[in-house]
Amino acid sequence: MKLLESLLFGLLLGLGAALPLADVTGEDTTLPDRCDGLEFDAITPDEKGNIIFFKGKHLWVGFNGPAQLSNGLFKELDDDHHIGHVDAAFRMHNPENHDDHDHVYFFLDDKVFSYYNQALEAGYPKAIQDDFPGIPSHLDSAVECPKGECVDNSVLFFKGHDVHVYDIATKVVKIKTWSNLPVCTSVLRWLEHYYCFHGHNFTRFNPLSGEVSAGAYPKDARNYFMNCADFGHGRDHQITKCSEVKLDAITINEEGKKYFFTGPLYMRLDSHRDGFHPFSITRAWKEMVNGVDAVFSYTDKIYMIKDDQVYIFKSDAHNTLIEGYPKSLKEELGIEGPVNAAFLCPGQDTVHIIKGGMILDIDLSATPRTVTRDFPLPISNIEAAYCDEKGVNVFKGSSYYHYESAFTLSVSRIAPQAEQITREMMGCQE
């Protein structure tokens, strides 16, 4: 009998990997897989730019990684209501009031919870009407909408096809009906665009009119917002350790958007509120199929250099290649390629080209363009550089060197102490 019990026990252990997990109450504790094609209950960035996806009693942090229990990060949601899901969530954009700017709000039935750094704020939960008068309960979704993208700093609350536009400053609510959009079970503002999630798909829309953006919508979220086998949009290309970062170029355009380029990928560095996410360069600049050697921005244009060719794009929503380009480096800038790096300082007309161990100055306001000055550099093998109001940073591998100005860089004969790229700078892993 004991032998039979032992054999049965061993058989059960062997089957354990194939059976759903259960806790002592008999509840199924198998973790859901969002790559199966889930309809999320809510999606929101937190105050650090991590995107959080909610489904039932589970959540996912970021575009990678497995599910975890929601009450592991936000325990009061379950302690107070035991309903096992979030109706809607958004991150507050209220720069005039630092007490609630970047706080994350969760809506459950007729209650609202405010969190900061995963800690519940004093006085919460509250009735939705106490915090957001005029907003109904049992919402479908919600999203922040900063001034400039909406008329004023606002929150869009979705219930069915009705959108309640809540003015943060005045607390005035205007109701719009967007029947052209699907019913949004979650809405996300990400990198200045707005996405309505429905089923396992999403539709991008205009936050002022509800108009669906140009393109083939809906699209499968698994191609864009998570890393799934047999799906993908360059999402499996990730910057890993900071010590392994190798840059090809960095530039800042006139709007203050900062981009870095590495291999076939680029990333927005000024978008830390939305997290750091790499994309294929061809997603934004479709002609740059072989990557870049150097990039710089001048007026409303971005110059991309590869080998001995210069591509000039308009810095607009479509990054349109200007007619007649690419042209040779000799024709456009009066130099031979290849080059290592390039940068302009704010408000200047002189582009500084790093070529081998030299820095070459070219006046972009002059015709024809020729080298006006050249100097030897105190550092060899520079790979990328940019200039802002704080000075010039030049990059070599995972190290960078700071100079007070382009002039200081050009006349220095001794390199400053190397500093290391950090996670805060580029979203890499320490």
Domain locations along the chain: 22-223, 242-426
**Which residues make Cβ contacts (< 8 Å) with residue 84, sequence separation at least 6?**
56, 57, 78
Q: Write down the H helix ranges in 99-222.
A: 128-131
pLDDT of residue 175: 98
Asked if CATH classification 3.60.110.10 holds for the domain at 242-426, the reply, yes or no, is no
What's the pLDDT at 331?
96
Weakly modelled stretches of the chain, pLDDT under 50: 1-26, 28, 81, 234-236
Give per-residue pLDDT as tens, 17-71: 333 334 444 454 688 999 999 999 999 999 888 899 999 989 999 888 889 988 8
**The pLDDT value given to residue 157:** 98
Name, in order, each residue with C-beta under 8 angstroms of 180's C-beta and a sequence gap of 6 or more.
210, 211, 212
Token duo for residue 393: 């940073």
Cis-peptide into 416, omega within 30 deg: no
In this structure, is the dihedral angle defined by the CA atoms of residues 273, 277, 281 and 285, taken in order, positive or negative? Answer: negative
Count CA atoms closer than 13 A to 11's CA, side-chain side.
Answer: 6
Q: Which pLDDT value is given to residue 316?
A: 81
Q: 74, 118 in Cβ contact below 8 A?
A: yes
pLDDT of amino acid 214: 86
pTM for the full model?
0.75
Token pair recorded at residue 364: 């972009």
Task: Give the domain 22-223 fold.
Answer: Hemopexin (2.110.10)
- Distance in angstroms between the alpha carbons of the first and the last residue of the chain: 56
What is the DSSP code string of 221-245?
Answer: GGGTSS--TT--SSTT----BGGG-
Rounded Cα distance between 49 and 260, Å, is 18
Q: Are 22-223 and 242-426 equal in CATH topology?
A: yes
Check if the beta carbon of residue 328 is closer than 8 Å to that of residue 371.
no
Note the pLDDT of residue 95.
Answer: 83
